[in-house]
Structure 1
């Protein structure tokens, strides 16, 4: 998997998942927000990175005893050790949080390896410990049982479904307090540029609304006088971010 552009990542760190959702909606993509997950702890830095995936299928008891963890080729462990620095490990747990997708030891290992975050549509064990790490993590709810009781790791770094969203290796993953968006890799540069401009305009709108302005003609911007005012505001605040 090619390393994602540092420039795109830095831009996406400055925008919200809500803004990204609007930008993707303009392009006809309505289902890029991973459903029914949330950050273990809010207020952390925005998570951005390329997707590196792990897929689980339902566990079959004769193939998934606790002794499989002794195998150095066990795919859950391999995924943790191979997930590239700066990437986000995204786990397809079939939206089943009855058993944990991972726990604090694996999350700590990912953090120490420089991985940018962890996302699962299942649950995480040791959730309080993971929440206290300097490491963004998203799940549906805490779950104590080991993944082996319900989940069998079957593949790494192939297309998966996570929270009803298709995730392809290399897609850009962005997570904030609201949740996680998936940006198709080929759209990421354009989306990042547009979202920076959208974010800048929203700052202008908030300033205007905070001073008592009506949203009519302002949000969305249809008033030509306000368009001119926004351009002047951008110049005076020197906030245009070049591509």
Structure 2
């Protein structure tokens, strides 16, 4: 018979995605700063009021103008079909705001696959449909203009430029009401661990404020180690 203590020791450790979902983009941004990583992107916002943290492994899609010399693959369709619950689709359309590269049918297909969310460097449409479905979508704009005849998929699962950031398959992403942050694959464990320590520190500080301690004292009290004292 397995005891409670034995069950705890044999329980599988939380995955990087699970740990990331327990954080927020602010803590992750602070942790990225500690490692000198500038991988927080400015601009994409939730197109409906997403109340939870979206996090997962990056699955990239590259989008560009329709060109008769290129295959005319429908944007993100193939990526949706091979993705799952721990994946977040990252669609790179060079920040283009005059045409959508994500819409309602894709949202329905993504929901059926259990995809965690979508982050678009550009515009999307059918925001209301995404909200009704409960699929988190982050984009730079919402427009009614269809991708049809205007943009197509160039590639997927390849490094992409998202604003000033290079995002690669194997990276992770976290997105919430504060913004979007990418975590390079080589730093995932270190950044998550550092962010968890930041969250613990801030929780202790919040408790101290709730107990009536002056915030000026709390912010400088040595019992709450700074991020520098944690070490990277």
Q: Normalised by the shorter chain, which TM-score bucket? A: 0.7 to 0.9
- 1:87 CA displacement: 0.6
Which position in structure 1 is the counterpart of 2:4? none
- 1:116 CA displacement: 1.0
Q: Is the 8 A contact 2:89 2:119 kept in 1?
A: yes
TM-score (norm 2): 0.83
Q: Give the 3 Å change call, closer, same or farther, for CA 43–156 of structure 1 in structure 2.
A: closer
Asked if 1:57 is matched to 2:64, the reply is yes
Asked if 1:133 is matched to 2:141, the reply is no
Q: Is the 8 A contact 1:35 1:164 kept in 2?
A: no
* Deviations 1:165-205, CA, capped at 9 Å, x for gaps: 21100111111111211001121112212211211111111
Q: Give the 3 Å change call, closer, same or farther, for CA 217–149 of structure 1 in structure 2.
A: farther
* Deviations 1:30-84, CA, capped at 9 Å, x for gaps: 2x12221101222432111100010012333x4689xx5xxxx646321221234
Which position in structure 1 is the counterpart of 2:92? 92
Which position in structure 1 is the counterpart of 2:148? 148
- 1:127 CA displacement: 1.0
* Deviations 1:138-185, CA, capped at 9 Å, x for gaps: 011211111234323110010001233211001111111112110011
> Where do 5+ consecutive residues of structure 2 fail to align?
1-12, 226-232
Asked if 1:16 is matched to 2:24, the reply is yes
Q: 25, 34, 40: which one pairs with 2:47?
A: 40
TM-score (norm 1): 0.79
* Deviations 1:101-154, CA, capped at 9 Å, x for gaps: 110110110111111111101111111111222221101121111123432311
**CA distance in structure 2 between the partners assigned to 1:127 and 1:190 by the alignment:** 35
**CA distance in structure 2 between the partners assigned to 1:197 and 1:206 by the alignment:** 14
User: Aligned-pair RMSD on alpha carbons?
Assistant: 2.3
- 1:216 CA displacement: 4.1
**CA distance in structure 2 between the partners assigned to 1:45 and 1:122 by the alignment:** 22
Give the total of aligned pairs.
213
**CA distance in structure 2 between the partners assigned to 1:163 and 1:131 by the alignment:** 25
Which position in structure 2 is the counterpart of 1:194? 194
Which position in structure 2 is the counterpart of 1:236? none
Q: Is the 8 A contact 1:75 1:156 kept in 2?
A: no
Q: Is the 8 A contact 1:34 1:165 kept in 2?
A: yes
Asked if 1:26 is matched to 2:34, the reply is yes
Which position in structure 1 is the counterpart of 2:170? 170
Which position in structure 2 is the counterpart of 1:81? 81
Task: Compare the two structures and name the one with the higher strand fraction.
Answer: 2
Q: Is the 8 A contact 1:80 1:110 kept in 2?
A: yes
**CA distance in structure 1 between the partners assigned to 2:69 and 2:116 by the alignment:** 32
